[in-house]
Structure 1
């Protein structure tokens, strides 16, 4: 009785493929060995190459021959690609396993944290770039719409629009100027006036005594610049006499009493009640009048420095303070002339 043939299993097919792959590899090795032996014989028989051009020609010929030859490719059912892939995968896994076992966990954690921080920074930069791009696109759209609007306007309309814009800016500048002058006057009356009066009466220069009281100004200062102590035992008659002497001293230094002036919203001077006319008020009034004269002279000079000087009757504490602050300076050949430093002219130049 004939024995039935054993069915071919998957293991049989795999073994057959392995044998075919081995034979194919052996055949390829034999072919390469034959080619190598032939090349060695040719090199032994050939004369030594001494010229660089001949060596280059040989290399070119070899490369062209290699390019024309068919590459070695396994047959369709060969297990060689799978074996190569398996070996490569096994090597990667072995290296990863060695790195994880022998590596420092803290170092790996630090590397991971650094990578996460770099990722967060890159995301923040990306968000900033997107926001900037959105803003630039919106700005481009606005500029284009503005150009389209201007292109539809006539020359007269453009001129009128420019005039309206200049008039608006002028009103804003006038309003800001009035506010600044009002603030300057308040500063002169509250803080600067008493210090100027102290310097004028022989006391310390402006800034040497931060808080100057009215009693100290009334008592005066010693030859060393120290404030005298006010007398507390004076009778009513003596007090009136001292007050008259104080008033004469004020008139001799700052002149007779005159109303202070304040610049209003319309640019005109407005008179107001000065209240008590004491040393601080007189010094503040003198400082305000001097600054107003200097500003008006500078504005009316039209850029001519020689026409912006103001003639002063004496070298007062107010004038010295402006010079020390580098806000004004005297004429180089006439100490009775003073002018403001034209900061705006330097910017225009």
Structure 2
């Protein structure tokens, strides 16, 4: 909706005049006589409008009764059309020469019409403000998105320019160096990468060993003994492993001889025995948790040495089942006693 500045100024002046009149009315309340006079003027104006409408309707009925209205027809000739246009022009000219019937100067009709027009403009302005507010909110959101895209584009452009400049510098440096010097630099760079990969692999191996010894071994031992599957129970003590599990997978009650000893004291005794060199093998597992850890270490070592080839499993164990569930290894399609690591560059079925 387009509203001219002139119309806005008129509305503003009208609002100011209305506010002034309201202030005057608040200071000098309207008397009952003034209200009766105003209502009387409204009634007179309404009667005048009704009489005017009635006169116009009577004139129209007389015009229709005296002469039928000739509407343009497709079969009318040019002369008939021209005469009809001339008659219409003559009628309009006669209307232009007559004075329009306007309300009296003291009639409340102009004020009512102005109020109705003002109310209409206010309603349209409120609707326009609501629409503009919604559009403004959407435009702000779009501006934020576009600003984010601009920042990303600037960062990408900066990174590409830095990369291009670095490649140009490397190219100029390579052109200035001899082939033997470039070859030595490539060899040193590759050796540095290999050493870094070896260090990272050693760190990963140590972390994996700690995870197996501290967390996974007890769960593997529990599954081998008929207990919960790996991951169902995260903490399984050595006492529960020594007691075993029932046919229903529930822990057995520890024996009285075992409950009488402190588990911490048992581990201290085992450590002292190892340090003293008692027994045939100082690294031999002393409990079921350590046996499960040793089995997992051995199995992973064999798989890593075999690479993509299959290895033969001496028996089904929780360690091999866990590796398959974790999608680290897979059984042979036709022989479940053979296992190999999954080639992560290919699908499982290859």
TM-score after normalising by structure 1: 0.51
Contact kept in structure 2, 1:327 and 1:341, CA below 8 Å: yes
Q: What is the CA distance between 1:284 and its match in structure 2?
A: 0.7
Q: Which residue does 1:131 correspond to in 2? A: 151
Q: What is the CA distance between 1:170 and its match in structure 2?
A: 2.4
Q: What is the CA distance between 1:134 and its match in structure 2?
A: 3.3
Contact kept in structure 2, 1:195 and 1:205, CA below 8 Å: yes
Q: Which residue does 1:324 correspond to in 2? A: 325
CA distance in 2, matches of 1:162, 1:311: 41
159 and 345 in structure 1: CA distance in 2 versus 1, 3 angstrom threshold: farther
Q: Which residue does 2:49 correspond to in 1? A: none
Residues 266-323 of structure 1 deviation map (CA, whole Å, 9 limit, x = unaligned) = xxxxxxxx8x72110111111111111101111xxxxxx4xx1222322222123223
Q: What is the CA distance between 1:194 and its match in structure 2?
A: 0.9
Q: Which residue does 2:296 correspond to in 1? A: 287
DSSP-derived class of the 1:344 partner: coil
Q: Which residue does 1:180 correspond to in 2? A: 204
Task: Give the aligned CA root-mean-square deviation in angstroms.
Answer: 3.9
Q: What is the CA distance between 1:340 and its match in structure 2?
A: 1.4
44 and 257 in structure 1: CA distance in 2 versus 1, 3 angstrom threshold: farther
Q: Which residue does 2:316 correspond to in 1? A: 315
Q: Which residue does 2:244 correspond to in 1? A: 220
Determine if the alignment matches structure 1 residue 210 to structure 2 residue 238. Answer: no
Contact kept in structure 2, 1:196 and 1:318, CA below 8 Å: yes
Contact kept in structure 2, 1:257 and 1:277, CA below 8 Å: no
Residues 140-199 of structure 1 deviation map (CA, whole Å, 9 limit, x = unaligned) = 432332232133213635544444443333233222222221111111111211111122
1:148 to 168, 171, 191: 168
Q: Which residue does 1:341 correspond to in 2? A: 342
Q: What is the CA distance between 1:335 and its match in structure 2?
A: 4.2
296 and 168 in structure 1: CA distance in 2 versus 1, 3 angstrom threshold: same
Q: Which residue does 1:167 correspond to in 2? A: 191
CA distance in 2, matches of 1:279, 1:335: 25
Q: Which runs of 5+ in 2 are unaligned?
A: 1-76, 80-113, 271-278
CA distance in 1, matches of 2:229, 2:153: 58
DSSP-derived class of the 2:330 partner: strand
Count of aligned positions = 218
194 and 163 in structure 1: CA distance in 2 versus 1, 3 angstrom threshold: same
DSSP-derived class of the 2:339 partner: strand
1:111 to 131, 135, 139: 131
CA distance in 2, matches of 1:118, 1:177: 52
Residues 106-146 of structure 1 deviation map (CA, whole Å, 9 limit, x = unaligned) = 42332232243244335434533543453344234323322
Q: Which runs of 5+ in 1 are unaligned?
A: 1-42, 46-93, 248-255, 261-273, 299-304
TM-score after normalising by structure 2: 0.51
99 and 204 in structure 1: CA distance in 2 versus 1, 3 angstrom threshold: same
Contact kept in structure 2, 1:150 and 1:158, CA below 8 Å: no
Q: Which residue does 1:48 correspond to in 2? A: none
DSSP-derived class of the 1:225 partner: coil
Q: Which residue does 2:305 correspond to in 1? A: 296
Q: Which residue does 1:13 correspond to in 2? A: none
Q: Which residue does 1:229 correspond to in 2? A: 253
Higher relative contact order (CA 8 A, sep 6+): 1
CA distance in 1, matches of 2:127, 2:280: 85
CA distance in 2, matches of 1:197, 1:326: 20
